[in-house]
Structure 1
């Protein structure tokens, strides 16, 4: 267990994914000033369950990801940074805000990769890219169907979960996965369900 400064957001951060942030709230500027002397400089990210990002008072999920600061640039009014999702954490207890959120957390065990999962990982990638192509035909998508992912299999599995066009509750369910096989199977199942929603209806006979 450890105490960690926290940054509740309206989006889910997965391991091995970038997190660009524009920080302007005073409490989070204080947080940055406190952690930048540490190496590495890290904070936790959790999804807001109810409420808003600005001002506090929101309710938060109990699973999140440690973000490690990679780049930072400051202006007079705000700080722009890019962090990288590292490892998953479970929030055990929210601590008193002083002035930024903080929590007592413990690490969630890493998912173990096995080479016999490679066919499943390939199926998951094909399913995600196929669904992204279908989604791109019906509107703007954050991720291109051709986006590059890591050559490292475990990292690639998390990146596929991150770029999959699903809602935040499904993303939280993926983030809670207890096995690599379970993550990939859940991802394929979600893509099969999501793909159906992008299929245009049959034309009615006139």
Structure 2
């Protein structure tokens, strides 16, 4: 019988990118350990953890050092899968809950599994007046590019957390900036940081 006092565990898929809550990500899967991960997620109906690769060139086969991953990441749930023109498994995943990886172990097949602490869900709080510029910016971006998030503008544009995550997802930030923003719990603090990251005219 499993020990209910143990923290939850999550298989990790380190990537040279940051997945944020609500964002979609396309993946091509070919390494045996990650094919095992996808199969396990399908059987159990669970997600896996996406963490930013903090060094190396993103090739996990070059050695353990290149797969050092950030301690904070986002749970990815599989929305769709298929086969690409090259015969490889393709996935469409969606970011769900943020987590903090507390302890890491490596399975015999090389798959990293972490004991995780789930971060609190985003509070639903209205946008503050000082962040109105960011809402206007997001509205302009989404009206230009369209897509699924554009359909939610009318109902979510005053949601501080949603506006912040969509900007983290869509603005031309570098991955370390995205990672720092992912690790913030307060949506208003995240918006403050985003304001400071905007280019000055």
TM-score normalised to structure 1 length: 0.78
The residue correspondences of 1:39-188 to structure 2 (distance < 5 A) are 39=45, 41-54=46-59, 55=61, 56-57=63-64, 58-74=67-83, 77-99=87-109, 100-115=111-126, 117-127=127-137, 146-148=144-146, 149=149, 150-151=152-153, 152=156, 153=159, 154-188=161-195
Cα distance in 1 for partners of 2:70, 2:83 equals 30
TM-score normalised to structure 2 length: 0.80
CA RMSD for the aligned pairs? 2.3
8 Å Cα contact 1:127-1:188 kept in structure 2:
no
Instruction: Point out the structure with max Rg over C-alpha.
Output: 1
Partner SS, residue 104 of structure 1: strand
Unaligned runs of 5+ in 2: 1-6
8 Å Cα contact 1:125-1:160 kept in structure 2:
no
Partner SS, residue 103 of structure 2: strand
Aligned length: 180
Give, in angstroms, the shift of residue 49 of structure 1: 0.4
8 Å Cα contact 1:120-1:184 kept in structure 2:
no
Tell me which moved more, 10-19 or 117-126. Answer: 117-126
Give, in angstroms, the shift of residue 80 of structure 1: 0.3
Give, in angstroms, the shift of residue 111 of structure 1: 2.6
Match of 1:28 in 2: 34
Give, in angstroms, the shift of residue 119 of structure 1: 3.4
Q: State the Cα deviation string for residues 106-133 of structure 1 (Å, max 9, x = none).
A: 1111232322x25345321334678x7x
